[in-house]
Amino acid sequence: MRHSLPTIPQFYVTAPQPCPYLAGRMERKLFTALQGEQAESMNDTLSKQGFRRSQNVLYRPSCAECNACLSARIRVADFTLSRSQRRVERRNAHLQRHVTSAWATEDQFDLFRRYLDHRHADGGMADMDVFEFAAMIEETPVRTRVLEYAATTPEGQRSLAAVCLTDVLDDGLSLVYSFFDPTLDKDSLGSFMILDQINLARKVGLPYVYLGYWVPGSPKMDYKAKFSALEIYHDGQWRNMTDPRDFSAATHPLAVKPIADQVSGLTLPNAISAPIAAAPAREI
């Protein structure tokens, strides 16, 4: 007979490194491994508390002197298109969505490299090779899908325009990572993929679309605040986004709770009844 023992999640803190969103800041992450029979329920539960998935890891920003990164999600039932978003949908109406399992392809990698070289040549992912790309797509212990958006050329060829890696949570779709053809920059494909997944979530009856982090003061993140029915995870609860200025970046030492308090305040799936253990971390 096989016996499965309950897994007690261990939480760790990364070493500080330069923040990719706010100049002059240092980022640090609280993270835990995502594995075993509880992987999907852990992903569902911690996503509701501001965590994100990257391969077999769940993480949340936990910077020593900054609390600017805020998890964002859209309430599907209350979302309404703006005039500019209607134009984005019309501009990309020729694209066909194809949903596949989490499996990497050469076409995806070629598009990914062109996207990075054009938009993020100095970023942390700039040196990713085909094996690391495949790991990003395929190493997932949860229900994950790849959504490809492609056009058909006059010659009848399929032309891949955009790709989104998406987790299917119990209450929504979580956009893990997306990329697109940089020559189609004017078509706003990043926004189009969000709009399409709002439509998809509405069709399958999921109430939320999770967008990752919104960072007040970061131009890279401004586009997320343009979606209606947006909620921000702030001070331990989801709040309606009213005016973005109401969520100004908190960048001082007292903005962040100690690591031990952050971990002890987490809610875990009901099947995990053991106390949460946090790896020792030196606090500033």
**229 Rama class: left (phi>0) / alpha (psi -120 to 50) / beta:** left
The mean per-residue pLDDT over the stretch 121-143 comes to: 86
- What average pLDDT does the chain have? 87
Confidence of residue 187 (pLDDT cuts 50, 70, 90): very high
Instruction: Evaluate whether residue 180 is within a structural domain.
Output: yes
Instruction: Evaluate whether residue 3 is within a structural domain.
Output: no
Confidence of residue 141 (pLDDT cuts 50, 70, 90): very high
CA dihedral 61, 57, 142, 171 (to 10 degrees): -10
Instruction: Evaluate whether residue 85 is within a structural domain.
Output: yes
pLDDT in tens, 224-279: 989 999 999 988 899 998 776 776 666 666 667 888 888 888 989 876 644 444 44
Residue 230 sits in the same domain as residue 123: yes
> What's residue 120's pLDDT?
64
Query: Which CATH number fits the domain that encloses residue 173?
Result: 3.40.630.30
Question: Which residues constitute the domain of residue 165?
Answer: 73-247
Instruction: Evaluate whether residue 218 is within a structural domain.
Output: yes
Instruction: Evaluate whether residue 283 is within a structural domain.
Output: no
> What's residue 249's pLDDT?
61
The mean per-residue pLDDT over the stretch 105-111 comes to: 97
What the block records as the tokens of 103 is 């499996």
**235 Rama class: left (phi>0) / alpha (psi -120 to 50) / beta:** left
CB 109 within 8 A of CB 3: no
Q: Which helix (DSSP H) or strand (DSSP E) does residue 106 occupy?
A: helix 106-119
Residue 27 sits in the same domain as residue 153: no
Give CA 105 to chain center in angstroms. 21
Handedness of CA 195, 199, 200, 205 (dihedral sign): positive
Judged by DSSP in three states, 158 sits in strand
